[in-house]
Every structure is written in structure tokens, then in C-alpha cells.
């Protein structure tokens, strides 16, 4: 169990492995300890659980109820919403046993067609989880020694931040529909999240699995509806981010100061976690993933102070728009980070 009470787990297949990851990160603990735990987990797994995160259970249950009620509509009503999808994930032929709805928090007009109670549940939820994401990013910046701790979080707070909320509904899989050749059926195939950070939460139904770096094993993650799971995204793995000229004027900072302040990176110090969701349950599973992304024209580039002869820059500079386009044109499980390595 990742981030669970006992910190032990059994990995799928015949091979059993007990892995010590430790309990979930308790956000109410002394800040210094929280920072250390977050950095360690981000370096080792790119994944951790946070408890005592401060988001009201009321906000969470409203969002979950709104999501269940959306998915309980007849199929033709759901397909009337352009960002609703089922079974097809992305544009490259990936399939999964799920239905989903994508909501863009910064484009409030995209919620225009939804009932007002749905809209307010979404807006409240996004506001609350974005705060959690920003707080974590500020601690990460502090932990890796970035002088301005808002360096990462500013990308999510930016008016043009390309963040989104994805609601995934995995209906119960009847035994007659499950694949006889597999001990599991894929709800959402293996991938890493392209953005900076993901704040993920599910109802009390199993399904999420993470891949352990260098071990080739899948680790089932016990659900905990009172907690959030945090995925390090690809951009945070590379990251250093630096806004383009447009943003300089928006934030009204001196260019020199602004460049310095927003130069943040992990240059491969953190890893983005590969994960998947399986449907081996007879219960409906609902997951809600907030993906914190930078503005489209944010430049992702390693800053000189993090690049040394011993640790040369791993990735070439690129914009988030460029990376996003690559991510969307490849298969879900493809290694897209590889295309942005300095040597290619």
C-alpha cells in the first residue's frame, strides 16, 4: 500500500514484494518534515499520498455526487457534451473500459452548458485542489532549493494556466465482459501525466496502480477517499520553467527579476510516475484528476545554475504547447520525454 498506514504492499503477479514507502504525507506536520517527505517521494517514486490536506469533505462529496449524477444520464444526453468520451482515450487509438468528462477550469465558459449546481461544485472543487497543488509545489520548490518558492505554483495560478479536471467513471465490469486471458482489465492504460502535477482522488474502490521505477512491477494503491494522491508530471521532471515575454508584462515584474524568479527545475531530479487504472471490481469507480499545467506559451528550459559539467541539461528547451502536441499525437504509453532529450 503506497502511503498507507503500514507502508507494505504486495505487487501483482506471482512475484511478491514488500515495499516500504512510508505513511501518507501528513500536511499538518511540521513544515520542514513535510517538505522533506514530499521531495523524497518525488525523487523516488514521483508519487505520494497526502492526508490532512485541508479541503472540506463537503466540497469533495459535492463534486463526487455531481460527477455520479452526470454519468448516470442516458448515453445520448452525455454525448451532447463535447468533452465527454467513452472507451477511446486521446486521439491515437488507445482504448479503456471507462467514460470520462474533461473540464477546463480557466475556461469558465466551457461550463456554460452545465446546470448551475454542477458548475458550482466544479468551481469550488477546482479552487480547493488547485490550492493543495500550489502548496505542494511551493514546498517542492523550497525542498529543491529554489529561492522563490512560488516559482512552480505561479504557473498554476496564472490566468492562462492550461490546467484541467478530468472525471473518470469506470463502470463495474461484468464477468461476462472481462477478458479471460487477463487477471485484470484495463480501465486506463499505462502512462505518465504530461503536466506539472496531478491531484488525484477516487471513491473507495480499488483500481489505481503505479509502476515502480526500475523494477518493472505494478503496485496496487489502496483507495483512500479522504486523501489525495499526487503524481509528479513530466514537466516537473524536466522542469525548469520560464515565461515568454507576454507573461512578463502580465505580471508586471522587472524582466531580470522575473526571469530569475521563475527559473525552477528538477532537471530529472524528480520522476514522473507511470500509472494505470484497472477494472477488476464489481463496483463503480470514480476518479477525479486535477492536472496542473503551465500556460501554453510557457517555455520549459533548464536554468544554467542547475546545469553542471557533471549533470548536463537532460532536455532541450521547448514550450508547453509543443510538448502537449507531442503528447497528444503519441500513444498513451509512449515515452514522450525521450523526444525532448538534449541529445535527440
Ligand X SMILES: O=C(O)CCC(=O)C(=O)O
CB of residue 291 to ligand X, shortest distance in Å: 8
Secondary structure letter of residue 227 according to DSSP: S
Q: Say which of 285, 316, 331, 336 is annotated catalytic.
A: 285
Binding residues with ligand X: total (CB under 6 A) = 12
Residues 194-233 within binding reach of ligand X (CB under 6 A)? 200, 202, 207-208
192 touching ligand X, by CB under 6 A: no
Query: Cβ contacts of residue 46 below 8 Å, gap of 6+?
Result: 192, 213, 231, 232, 237, 270, 271, 272, 273
Residue from 62, 241, 279, 287 that binds ligand X (CB under 6 A)? 287
Query: Cβ contacts of residue 83 below 8 Å, gap of 6+?
Result: 101, 102, 103, 104, 110
Contact status, residue 251 vs residue 277, Cβ threshold 8 Å? no
- 203: which 3 cell numbers? 471513491
**161 or 272, CB closer to ligand X?**
272
CA angle 246, 122, 171 (to 5 degrees): 120
What is the number of helices (H) and of strands (E) in the chain? 9, 16
**271 or 277, CB closer to ligand X?**
277
121 touching ligand X, by CB under 6 A: no
φ/ψ of residue 88, rounded to 5 = -85, 125
- Contact string 230-269 vs ligand X (x = CB under 6 A): ----------------------------------------
* Pairing label, strands 264-265, 218-220: unpaired
277 touching ligand X, by CB under 6 A: yes
168 touching ligand X, by CB under 6 A: yes
CB of residue 340 to ligand X, shortest distance in Å: 20
Q: Is residue 285 annotated as a catalytic residue, yes or no?
A: yes
Residue from 49, 130, 166, 324 that binds ligand X (CB under 6 A)? 166
Which residues are known catalytic residues?
Answer: 285
Query: What is the contact surface with ligand X in residues (CB under 6 A)?
Result: 166, 168, 188, 193, 200, 202, 207-208, 275, 277, 287, 289
Amino acid at each position: 500500500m503506497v502511503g498507507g498506514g503500514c507502508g507494505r504492499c504486495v505487487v501483482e503477479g506471482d512475484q511478491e514484494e514488500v515495499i516500504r514507502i512510508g505513511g501518507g504525507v501528513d500536511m499538518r506536520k511540521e513544515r520542514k518534515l513535510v517538505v522533506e517527505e514530499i521531495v523524497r517521494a518525488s525523487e523516488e517514486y514521483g508519487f505520494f499520498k497526502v492526508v490532512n490536506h485541508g479541503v472540506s469533505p463537503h466540497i469533495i462529496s459535492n463534486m463526487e455526487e455531481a460527477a455520479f449524477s452526470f454519468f448516470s444520464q442516458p448515453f445520448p444526453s452525455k454525448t451532447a457534451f463535447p468533452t465527454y468520451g467513452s472507451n477511446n482515450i486521446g486521439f491515437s487509438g488507445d482504448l479503456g473500459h471507462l467514460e470520462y468528462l474533461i473540464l477546463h477550469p480557466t475556461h469558465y465558459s466551457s461550463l456554460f452548458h452545465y446546470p448551475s449546481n454542477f458548475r458550482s461544485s466544479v468551481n469550488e472543487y477546482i479552487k480547493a485542489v488547485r490550492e493543495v497543488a500550489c502548496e505542494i509545489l511551493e514546498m517542492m520548490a523550497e525542498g529543491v532549493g529554489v529561492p522563490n518558492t512560488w516559482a512552480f505554483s505561479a504557473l498554476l495560478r496564472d490566468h492562462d494556466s492550461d490546467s484541467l479536471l478530468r472525471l473518470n467513471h469506470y463502470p463495474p465490469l461484468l464477468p461476462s465482459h472481462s477478458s479471460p486471458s487477463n487477471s485484470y482489465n484495463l480501465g486506463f492504460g499505462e502512462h505518465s501525466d504530461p503536466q506539472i502535477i496531478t491531484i488525484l482522488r477516487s471513491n473507495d474502490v480499488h483500481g489505481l496502480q503505479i509502476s515502480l521505477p526500475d523494477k518493472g512491477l505494478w503496485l496496487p494503491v489502496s483507495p483512500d477517499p479522504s486523501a489525495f494522491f499526487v503524481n509528479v508530471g513530466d514537466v516537473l521532471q524536466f522542469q525548469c520553467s520560464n515565461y515568454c515575454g507576454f507573461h512578463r508584462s502580465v505580471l508586471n515584474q522587472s524582466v531580470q527579476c522575473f526571469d530569475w524568479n521563475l527559473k525552477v527545475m528538477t532537471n530529472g531530479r524528480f520522476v514522473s510516475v507511470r500509472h494505470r487504472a484497472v477494472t477488476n471490481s464489481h463496483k463503480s469507480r470514480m476518479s477525479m484528476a486535477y492536472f496542473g499545467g503551465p500556460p501554453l506559451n510557457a517555455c520549459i528550459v533548464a536554468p544554467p545554475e542547475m546545469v553542471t559539467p557533471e549533470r548536463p541539461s537532460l532536455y532541450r528547451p521547448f514550450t508547453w504547447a509543443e510538448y502537449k502536441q507531442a503528447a497528444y499525437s503519441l500513444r498513451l504509453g509512449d515515452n514522450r520525454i525521450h523526444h525532448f532529450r538534449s541529445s535527440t
